[in-house]
């Protein structure tokens, strides 16, 4: 096989949830397409790489020219609720289901001794100050129902001064043990969010 094609397949195969077989199909489809789809994809990807950055406040990806993301700029979302999630895909899942209308805080991962993810690797440092600045009254943990998710949740709570501590809650029933948000249907996610329990 052509080395350039092999290299492209390997790059696609590194993406989450894409194996080498799917990567091969994508590569061939793009290379054999006569409509310019591959070039359009390459240009769009390059543009995104150069212009998209994490929001300095919450970590949601946004245009560098915009400064803060759409969620942090939207005054209607300043309702005192802050939802703590692992990554951007969780934000997209919650937005798609329309069960949450406050603001987000992306940690960028979960604490894990196995993976070597330590507190300094996560977006936690400015969280306590953000709670003060935005008058947060409730922090909702929407982390995976795993050992790593619970460990991270407890650690985050421990970093917040009890003097400013808002109400802490987590998603209720409906999130299976070991489950991720993006595997839940909208109905289950709505029930889990609506029936969240105080910590």
pLDDT along the chain (199 residues), means of 10: 86 88 92 89 92 93 86 94 94 90 95 88 92 92 89 91 79 56 60 64
* Residue 174 CA from chain centroid, whole number: 20
User: What was the pLDDT predicted at 99?
Assistant: 87
Predicted TM-score (pTM) of the model is 0.77
User: What was the pLDDT predicted at 82?
Assistant: 96
As a whole number of Å, the CA-based R_g of the chain is 20
Task: Classify domain 75-198 by CATH architecture.
Answer: 3-Layer(aba) Sandwich (3.40)
User: What was the pLDDT predicted at 189?
Assistant: 66
User: What was the pLDDT predicted at 146?
Assistant: 86
Q: How far apart are CA 79 and CA 140, in angstroms?
A: 13
User: What was the pLDDT predicted at 1?
Assistant: 61
Q: How far apart are CA 145 and CA 175, in angstroms?
A: 7
User: What was the pLDDT predicted at 147?
Assistant: 86
> What sign results for the dihedral spanned by CA atoms 84, 89, 90, 94?
positive
How far is the CA of 196 from the CAs of 66, 74, 191, in angstroms? 33, 24, 8
Helical residues (DSSP H) of 33-161, grouped into ranges? 37-51, 70-73, 88-97, 127-133, 147-158
User: What was the pLDDT predicted at 199?
Assistant: 63
Domain spans in the chain, listed from the N-terminal domain onward: 75-198
């Amino acid at each position: 096989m052509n080395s350039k094609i092999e290299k492209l397949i390997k790059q696609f195969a590194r993406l989450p949830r894409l194996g080498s077989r799917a990567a091969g199909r994508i590569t061939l489809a793009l290379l054999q397409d006569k409509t310019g789809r591959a070039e359009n994809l390459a240009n769009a990807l390059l543009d995104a790489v150069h212009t998209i950055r994490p929001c300095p406040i919450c970590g949601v990806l946004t245009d560098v020219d915009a400064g803060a993301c759409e969620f942090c700029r939207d005054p209607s979302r300043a309702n005192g609720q802050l939802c703590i999630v692992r990554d951007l895909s969780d934000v997209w899942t919650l937005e798609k289901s329309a069960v949450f209308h406050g603001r987000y805080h992306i940690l960028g991962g979960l604490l894990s001794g196995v993976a070597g993810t330590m507190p300094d690797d996560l977006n936690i440092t400015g969280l306590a100050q953000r709670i003060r600045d935005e008058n947060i009254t409730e922090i909702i943990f929407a982390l995976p129902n795993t050992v790593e998710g619970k460990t991270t949740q407890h650690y985050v709570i421990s970093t917040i001064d009890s003097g400013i501590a808002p109400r802490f809650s987590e998603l209720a029933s409906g999130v299976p043990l070991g489950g991720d948000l993006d595997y839940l249907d909208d109905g289950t996610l709505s029930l889990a969010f609506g029936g969240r329990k105080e910590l």
